Amino acid sequence: MLKLESVTKHYGSITALDQVSLDIARGEFFGLLGPNGAGKSTLMSLVAGLRSPDAGALSLDGATLSAQSAATRRDLGLVPQHIALYPRLTAEQNLRIFGGLQGLGGVLLRSRINEALQAVGLDDRRRDQVQTFSGGMQRRLNLAAAILHRPKVLLCDEPTVGVDPQSRNAIFEYLERLNDDGLTIIYSTHYMEEAARLCSRIGIIDHGKLLALGTLDELLTQLPFEEEIRFPATDKTAELASRLKDQGDVALVEQTHCFRPRAGFRLSSFYALTESHGLAPRLFATQRPSLEALFLHLTGRTLRE
């Protein structure tokens, strides 16, 4: 449905996107995961037609996507990273403006506004100025404004930045419902938890290059280990962490040691080691490796760096 072929974009001497190719199918919930400055927003802006690529091509259902292709862009909806709303206007007035710009009007626009406001839980605040809303409410309205015209593809550029957990969940649930109804969603984020929860397929991007692409399971198989053992980083566990380096990689992520064992590692030997250091089993958690681990594995640095 949405196709990117060897798309390259430079800003002066900086290469924001380097020969990125992607093929996103109809109804997919595609996640674009990468740290800040990785090229996610550039990719989103190219798809949205806000910029033109220096090389390569983008198409939606076979039609070229570019800054000049206004008709094709009618099939897109963009949820910008910013809260792109007029704060002095009411929620309803904002939606009327953005719906009108998409060519909606009259009864159809009114019914779409009603639907959208109900869907994001803001129906009772429709006549309030947006500047009186909480950050989470503004984010929800920001999302509602992008789907009034029922686009084929919804581009969400880090739509939950600065959002409280309750509003974040509301946004996730709404997006999942939209996706269940058949809407194709491209969701850029630097939160691996969001990508893991929402996305059926994930592309990991860094320094403008698409490093890995696939479902969560497919991505995780690229790791040279199948599980990860986590334990708190304390004075007592420091020596253990040091000893474990002989048997795998040990990374320190937010006051937690993440031990990723090499092939042939035996769990019994691990517990023997912890016992010899007098460490209680409750300190250790064995879990499936995360996208964070994959990113670390692919780039040598964490997503939050």
Partner 1 sequence: MHALLVLLRKDFTNFFHNKAAVLLTFFVPFAMIYVFGQVFGVTKTDGGPSGIPLAVVNDSKDPGALQLVNALKAEKTFSVITEFTPPQHASRALTETDLEPLMHDNKFRFAVVIPSDLVKADQLGVHLKIYSNPRNEIETQMVTGVLQKTIFSTVPQLLGQSLQSHARTSVGDQRLKHFNRSIAENIASTFGGNADDITRQIEQGNFAPASAALTGASPGTTLDKAPAAFSNLLTQLVQIETRQVSGQDVKSPAATRIVGGFAIQFLLFALSSSAAALFYERDRGIFQRILAGPVSRSQILWSKFLYGSALGLLQLVVLFVGGRLLYGIDIENHLGYLSLVCVVTAAACTAFGMVLASVASSMEAASGLATFVILLMCSVGGAWFPVSLMPHAIQQLSKLTIVYWAMEGFDQVLWMNASFHDLVPTLGILIAITVAVMFVAVWRFNRGNLFE
Contacting positions for partner 1 (CB under 8 A)? 45, 48-51, 67, 70-71, 73-74, 76-78, 80-86, 98, 101-103, 145-146, 149, 155
Residue with Cβ nearer partner 1 (38 or 83): 83
Residue with Cβ nearer partner 1 (156 or 293): 156
To the nearest whole angstrom, how small is the minimum distance from the Cβ of residue 87 to partner 1?
8
How far is Cα 238 from Cα 116, in angstroms, rounded to an integer? 53
The dihedral over CA atoms of 10, 68, 183, 104, expressed in degrees to the nearest 10, equals 140
Residue with Cβ nearer partner 1 (2 or 296): 2
To the nearest whole angstrom, how small is the minimum distance from the Cβ of residue 66 to partner 1?
12
Cα torsion angle, 107, 109, 113, 115, sign: positive
To the nearest whole angstrom, how small is the minimum distance from the Cβ of residue 39 to partner 1?
15
How far is Cα 52 from Cα 58, in angstroms, rounded to an integer? 9
Name beta bridge partners: 248: 261
To the nearest whole angstrom, how small is the minimum distance from the Cβ of residue 55 to partner 1?
18
How far is Cα 159 from Cα 140, in angstroms, rounded to an integer? 9
Nearest residue to 137 via CA among 97, 87, 197: 87
Neighbours of 61 (CB within 10 A): 13
Tell me the two tokens of residue 271. Answer: 């517990």
How far is Cα 249 from Cα 241, in angstroms, rounded to an integer? 9
To the nearest whole angstrom, how small is the minimum distance from the Cβ of residue 278 to partner 1?
49
To the nearest whole angstrom, how small is the minimum distance from the Cβ of residue 81 to partner 1?
7
Residue with Cβ nearer partner 1 (43 or 78): 78
To the nearest whole angstrom, how small is the minimum distance from the Cβ of residue 268 to partner 1?
55
Neighbours of 3 (CB within 10 A): 16
Residue with Cβ nearer partner 1 (80 or 203): 80
Neighbours of 110 (CB within 10 A): 15
Residue with Cβ nearer partner 1 (155 or 205): 155
Residue with Cβ nearer partner 1 (98 or 225): 98
Query: Is 136 strand, coil or helix?
Result: helix
The CA distances from residue 8 to 30, 109, 153, 201, 232, in Å, are: 20, 38, 21, 22, 42
